[in-house]
Amino acid sequence: MYNLLKGKRGIITGALDQNSIAWKVAEKAHEEGATFVLTNAPIAMRMGEIKALAEKTGSQIIPADATSVEDIEKLYVEAQEILGGKIDFLLHSIGMSVNIRKNIPYAESNYDYFMKGIDVSAMSLHKMLSVAKKLDAINEGGSVVALTYMAAQRTYPFYTDMADIKAMLESIARSFGYHYGKEKKVRINTVSQSPTKTTAGTGIKGFGDFYDFADAIAPLGNADAESCADYCITLFSDLTRMVTMQNLFHDGGYSSTGVSSEVMERLAGE
């Protein structure tokens, strides 16, 4: 280990079970010397295994619904009390679409569900940043990372409303990155991750086939949750102190590859 986060304090959202990307980020952040609190929606506390992660990493859990400004305020106040100072890093690892869950085709999206998806998966980043700025809860040079997917740039029919929602998430990271950067040098980036076998990922129709397709296109293959966590750690560290307002692909080269010889051969039936 490199002690990249020695002395840093953080908030990690979204660790539901051992497959969660946030779970791996928490393990790595702990290995790299950070102290942090874990948070998730109250319902996820009952269903998930977050307590085991808290024990393993010596962290406390603060339940918070990421759509509630009141919960987020409480989260920052309590996190700073527990950790003994302002926050240096924040991981936004929150995604949920009721339209996807209910298998509703994109063109027939239910708008109440659409709004819920926006609130949970994109607006929550704005709320977490806005409350942090208001409470001055993040140290100068602090780093915020939100996880996203390439459907924000290119169409993946099965990703339905989450494509639009991720586009909004990435835009919030850019827009807020300007304001928070000017005022406090706080950095905000999104990491655009390969398909990953998690609860949120595998809930998407046709995920298995698509996972294999992406793996066959990417020269390095799909990036797994653990390597995603490593990348997030570098973004929380001071080594990336001038990187902000970026959407950073972490996908084994998938986003820059038109087609691979492997896929061509499969199509030709070789």
Ligand X SMILES: NC(=O)c1ccc[n+]([C@@H]2O[C@H](COP(=O)([O-])OP(=O)(O)OC[C@H]3O[C@@H](n4cnc5c(N)ncnc54)[C@H](O)[C@@H]3O)[C@@H](O)[C@H]2O)c1
The DSSP code sequence of the chain is: ---TTTT-EEEEE---STTSHHHHHHHHHHHTT-EEEEE--HHHHHHS-HHHHHHHHT-EE----TT-HHHHHHHHHHHHHHHTS-EEEEEE-----HHHHTT--GGG--HHHHHHHHIIIIIHHHHHHHHHHHHT-EEEEEEEEEEE-GGGTS--GGGHHHHHHHHHHHHHHHHHHHHHHHHH--EEEEEEEPP--SHHHHTSTTHHHHHHHHHHHSTT----HHHHHHHHHHHHSGGGTT--S-EEEESTTGGG-S--HHHHHHHTT-
Active site residues: 149, 159
By CB under 6 A, residue 66 contacts ligand X = yes
For ligand X, the closer of residues 95 and 142 by Cβ is: 95
Interacting residue with ligand X among 16, 26, 100, 132 (CB under 6 A)? 16
188 marked as binding residue:
no
By CB under 6 A, residue 35 contacts ligand X = no
82 marked as binding residue:
no
Interacting residue with ligand X among 18, 27, 54, 67 (CB under 6 A)? 67
For ligand X, the closer of residues 185 and 207 by Cβ is: 207
By CB under 6 A, residue 218 contacts ligand X = no
133 marked as binding residue:
no
By CB under 6 A, residue 159 contacts ligand X = no
7 marked as binding residue:
no
Q: Which of residues 136-155 bind ligand X (CB under 6 A)?
A: 147-149
Residues that bind ligand X (CB under 6 A): 13-14, 16, 20-22, 40-41, 44, 65-67, 93-96, 120, 147-149, 193, 195-196, 198-201
